[in-house]
Amino acid sequence: MKAESAPTRERPKILPSNPGKIGESRPRADGVPKVRGEFEYSSDLRVDGMLWGATLRSPHPHANIWSIDTAEAEDMPGVYSVLTHEDVPGRKVYGMEVPDQPVLAWEHVRYEGEPIAVVAADHPETARRALEKIAVDYEILDPITDPAEALREDTPKLHLSGNVLKEVHIKHGDVEATADVVVSGEYEVGMQDQAFLGPESGMAVPDGRGGVDLFISTQWLHIDRDQIAESLDLPPEDVRLTLSGVGGAFGGREDLSMQIHSCMLALDAGRPVKMMYNREESFYGHVHRHPCKMEYEHGADREGNLVYVKARLVFDGGAYASSSNAVCLNAGTFACGPYDVPNARIDSYMLYTNNPPCGAMRGFGAVQVCFAHETQMDKLANKLGMNPVELRLKNAMKPGDKFPFGQTVPEPAPVAEILERVENMPMPEEEEIIGRDLRRLPGGVSNVTRGEGVKRGVGYAVGYKNIGFSAGFDDYSTASIALSVEDGEPIIYVHTAAAEVGQGGVTLQAQISRTELGVENVAVLPADTRIGSAGSTSASRQSYVTGGAVKMACEAVRGKVFERVREEFGDEFGGELSMEDGSVLAGNRRIVALAELLENGGIEETVVYRHKPTYPLDENGQGDAHFQFAFAAHRAVVEVDEELGLVRVVEIATAQDVGKIMNPQSLEGQIQGGVAQGLGLALLEEIQMKDGKVQNASFTDYLLPTILDMPPVRMEVLELADPDSPYGLKGVGEPPTISSTPAIVAALRDATGRELNRVPVKPEQLAGIEGEPIRRAPQPGSRGPVADDLGSEA
């Protein structure tokens, strides 16, 4: 291996924090710079001589490219580099699981917004204008936008491998089972966007020796690096990544966006290149949550015991693979919900289409099926004349049961307990509707109702998903702990490549180190590729896997400390050795201060931590695919204006098992934030597509919940330790997003009596008015038609 070259940019100074131990709420280490506006996000990076990159994107969802002429753009003053697919030095495609996505398109474009060329110039506006000078000769083709159409034999194939990207078939028990009571339904989930607030951005800096440093917001530095190196045709050690401040992620930064482009431009121009998407471009620049259509049939006996579940899931994977394979698998395995289902037949399909590529988003396959299985459970309860919570309790899975994919349900699996908890939580006070402050009515200050037509409803849902990477994936994290003495005080340096995307991982690493080594000063170094991979900040896995790695590295350091103590002081202490308050203790007796023990040199240990192995599913969809499961239940109370279809969510109550509360304040933040995204999917958020084109690529028309839309979240947290995980903890980030959506929709059904088989629920549905939206161009800043394709208005 080559010697590592020096970084080309000065690193920000790392200030040690005093993090507190695990279980304590302590202010986050990055809080001060964030509230002062001094935290350096990737979009804030700048160095002297820096150029600005910009990306030419296809306006067509499906087209052949006959030629690309960049001559005019290259001649523009201020333009330093114009690159196309011909300039990609190495592998011309990339992808995390399946490298099928062109770095820059050649011959075909398969979705609207697909990158075709990139430009670097001395001002962002010059770069944009240069893009307008690039001539691309397209032959426009009909887009394939319906996954059901893509699945048909006679549909043209978008990729050589065909249109079926992945299929998972689960056969569990008697797949022909019949039952006395049967309910069926068809359900649909729209395309949700992660809508992190900090758009994609980064800065690539050439090192003058052929290599490149990239300062970037991402969820997983090493998988980025490996893909970049392949496409640049460089050895991985010549591509060094450092995490910059990340403005949220939620799955949307797991795939590459501008990483390879900025490095190509920087290497070509010989100057640092910064790229920064705007909001509109961001909607084209990352994958979205898969839209999904689901057909379900549940069979039960007359007492309400589930006999079978049959489900057919059809996901729209969009133009390229991203992490669709894993989403397809996840959805298949969780399609029945957290219930003891003796017989099941699940068919999960992932299709290529000319829609935007879809991939990871919080909940990852579990969100879509949870909406369907929970709606089915309510339907079944209704048909049986049972209370919906009672039906769920009756069928709740327990440790020792078999999942439909054959794995045994491990301890703990408190499905019944969390349901009982949410059912027993106090209901929000029912305030008299007439005379109430407008702001506590549907529609709020917009004054649509003073109480006319308003009805209240309550709904329940429960969901679950796996934590971490599954099905045989080698899922690990690397951590290095250095314990030394500075200015007479012991200090711990923690180094991992785990991406802090806002979730609080940096604080947690410090807390673990503080807890394990009894040292107050802890500095967490910037995440970068100088150390081994930490895996992705996704799948609710970093507390477990990188947390486990940090803990294990601390244990290794502690072992070395004790060794040194024994070397210097013998091994007759009359008590177990421990580390506390900067000293080594035996029982309660102080043996030596670390400042003294480490005077002549610190201790550093680097470890790789792996959770227990998982295995791929066999041809019947059976196997020990997952290593940990997290459960949450939700109760929603809503008020609906029946005539207008407007909703006020009054309260969300939730119970979730987290194994061990590592940091109460950040746990609450994860739960509240996750619920907000579930609420968004239930009521507001959808990327609206028409003929393969995005209709609402702006925050004007893509509706994120505001502070007026979010109700208080009442929560109870269970700490049922997982015997296999560090501290017994479970991943917490995703469960709040999974069953909050169906709980809200169940409450809407309770209030209105309507079916509501699709999310997000539109006011039209709630008000009982039909009507198909007609295409209109997105018009941020204005709601009327502007462009010429707006015939419907005339």
Partner 1 sequence: MKLECKVNGENREADGVREGESLLYILRERLDLPGSKNACEQGECGSCSVYMDGMLVCSCLVLAGQAEGREIVTVEGLADENELHPVQKSFIEAGAVQCGFCTPGLIVATHDLLERNAKPSDVEIREALAGNLCRCTGYEKILDAVKLAAAKNGNGA
Partner 2 sequence: MIPLKFDYEVAESAQHAVELLGQHGDEAKLLAGGHSLLPIMKLRLAAPTVLIDIGRLNDLNYVREDGDKLAIGAMTRHTDVEHSDLVKSECGILAYTAGLVGDPQVRHRGTIGGSLAHGDAASDLPGVFLALDAEFKITGSGGDRTIAAADFFEDYLMTALAPDEILTEVRVPKLNGAGWSYRKFNRRAQDWAVVGVGAILERSNGSISSARIGFTNMASVPVRASATEQALSGASVDSIAEAAESAADGTSPSSDIAASSEFRQHLARVLTKRALDEALSR
Using CB under 8 A, list all residues that contact partner 2. Answer: 124-125, 128, 278, 280, 443-450, 452-453, 643-644, 646, 683-684, 688, 695-696, 700-701, 703, 705-706, 708-709, 763-764, 767, 769-774, 776, 778-787, 792-793
Judged by CB under 8 A, the residue of 95, 115, 247, 518 near partner 1 is: 247
Kind of pairing, strands 629-641 and 646-657? antiparallel
**331 contacts 368 by C-beta, under 8 angstroms:** yes
Contact predicate 305/181, CB 8 Å: no
Q: Which does 451 bind (CB under 5 to 8 A by kind): partner 2, partner 1, none?
A: none
Q: Is 33 left (phi over 0), alpha (psi -120 to 50) or beta?
A: alpha
Q: Which does 476 bind (CB under 5 to 8 A by kind): partner 2, partner 1, none?
A: none
Residue from 246, 266, 549, 552 in contact with partner 1 (CB under 8 A)? 246
Six token digits for residue 506: 């940096």
The only residue of 266, 553, 646, 675 in contact with partner 1, by rule CB under 8 A? 675
Residue 84 or 282 with smaller CB distance to partner 2:
282
Q: Which one, 211 or 247, has the nearer CB to partner 1?
A: 247
- In terms of CB distance, is 246 or 311 closer to partner 1? 246
199 binding partner (options partner 1, partner 2, none; Cβ < 5 to 8 Å by kind): partner 1
Residue of 522, 531, 524 lying closest to 492 (CA atoms): 522
User: Smaller CB distance to partner 2: residue 135 or 708?
Assistant: 708
How many Å apart are CA 275 and CA 198, to the nearest integer? 13
Backbone torsions φ then ψ of 512, nearest 5 degrees: -65, -45
Structure tokens at 369: 């099926």
Q: How far apart are CA 735 and CA 660, in angstroms?
A: 15
Residue choice 11, 46, 157, 590 for contact with partner 1 (CB under 8 A):
46
Q: Using CB under 8 A, pick the residue from 1, 3, 6, 35 that binds partner 1.
A: 35
Kindly tell me which of 214 and 684 has the beta carbon lying closer to partner 1. Answer: 684
Please state, in angstroms and rounded to a whole number, the distance separating the CA atoms of residues 490 and 202: 35
- Joined together, the tokens standing for residue 659 give 């194994």
3-state per-residue secondary structure call for 40-104? CEHHHCCCCCCEEEEEEECCCCCEEEEEEECHHHHCCCCEEEEECHHHCCCCCEECCCCCCEECC
- The closest of 253, 221, 226 to 238, measured between CA atoms, is 226
Q: How far is the CB of 65 from partner 2 (least distance, A)?
A: 23
Residue 793 contact among partner 2, partner 1, none, beta carbon within 5 to 8 Å by kind = partner 2
| Closest of 214, 217, 216, 215 to residue 196, by C-alpha | 217
Q: For residue 707, count other CB atoms closer than 10 A to its CB.
A: 6
Burial (CB < 10 A; 0-12, 13-18, 19+), residue 575, is exposed
> From the list 332, 442, 468, 504, which residue makes contact with partner 1 (rule: CB under 8 A)?
504
Q: Check residue 23 for interaction with partner 1 (CB under 8 A).
A: no
Q: Which listed option, partner 2, partner 1, none, makes contact with residue 198 (CB within 5 to 8 Å by class)?
A: partner 1
Are the C-beta atoms of 755 and 651 separated by less than 8 Å? no
CB of residue 109 to partner 2, shortest distance in Å = 21
The distance from CA 310 to its chain's CA centroid, rounded to whole angstroms, is: 28
Torsion of CA 244, 250, 254, 257, to 10 degrees: -70
Task: Report the residue from 299, 674, 692, 731 that binds partner 1 according to the rule CB under 8 A.
Answer: 674
Total Cβ atoms within 10 A of residue 692: 21
Q: Which of 278, 484, 606, 688: binder of partner 1 (CB under 8 A)?
A: 278
Residue 295 in the binding site for partner 1 (CB under 8 A): no
State the sign of the Cα–Cα–Cα–Cα dihedral 158, 160, 161, 162.
Answer: positive
Collect all residues with Cβ–Cβ distance below 8 Å to 607 and sequence separation of at least 6: 478, 479, 480, 549, 552, 553, 556
Nearer to partner 2, 562 or 699 (CB): 699
In whole angstroms, how close is the CB of 673 to partner 1 at the nearest point? 4
Q: Which of residues 437-476 bind partner 1 (CB under 8 A)?
A: 437, 439-440, 444-445
Question: In 3D, which of 649, 302, 241 has the Cα closest to residue 458?
Answer: 649
Q: Counting contacts by CB under 8 A, is residue 315 touching partner 1?
A: no
Q: In the bound complex, what is the minimum distance in angstroms from residue 124's beta carbon to partner 2?
A: 7
Please list, in sequence order, all residues whose beta carbon lies within 8 angstroms of the beta carbon of residue 438, skipping any fewer than 6 positions away: 444, 445, 447, 450
Which window, 81-89, 231-239, 520-528, 708-716, contacts partner 1 (CB under 8 A)? 708-716
Residue type, 54: A
Given 19, 115, 143, 245, the residue binding partner 1 (CB under 8 A): 245
Stretch 329-348 residues interacting with partner 1 (CB under 8 A): none
Q: Least distance in Å: CB of 284 to partner 2?
A: 14
List b or e across 158-168, with b for residues whose CB sees 16 or more CB atoms inside 10 angstroms: bbeeebbbbbb
> Which residues neighbour 414 within 8 Å (Cβ) at sequence distance 6 or greater?
631, 657, 718, 720
Shortest Cβ 144–partner 2 spacing (Å): 22
Contact string 180-199 vs partner 1 (x = CB under 8 A):
--------------xxxxxx
69 binds, options partner 2, partner 1, none, Cβ within 5 to 8 A by partner type = none
Give dist(CA 737, CA 196) in Å, integer.
Answer: 15
| Min separation Cβ 449 and partner 2, Å | 7
Contact flag: residue 780 with partner 1 (CB under 8 A): yes
**Interacting span for partner 1 (CB under 8 A) from 379-387, 595-603, 664-672, 783-791:** 664-672
Site for partner 1 in 746-765 (CB under 8 A): none
Smaller CB distance to partner 1: residue 17 or 765? 17
Task: Identify what 30 binds: partner 2, partner 1, none; CB under 5 to 8 Å per kind.
Answer: partner 1
Give the residue with the Cβ less far from partner 1, 44 or 87. 44
Reading the block at residue 412, the tokens are 């703990």
> Which one, 487 or 772, has the nearer CB to partner 2?
772
Least distance to partner 2, CB of residue 402, Å: 43
- For residue 331, how many C-alpha atoms fall within 13 Å in the half-sphere facing its CB? 36
Query: Interface residues with partner 1 (CB under 8 A)?
Result: 25, 27-28, 30-32, 34-41, 43-44, 46, 123, 125, 194-199, 245-250, 276, 278-279, 437, 439-440, 444-445, 501-504, 665-666, 668-669, 671-677, 698-700, 704, 706-708, 710, 712-713, 780-781
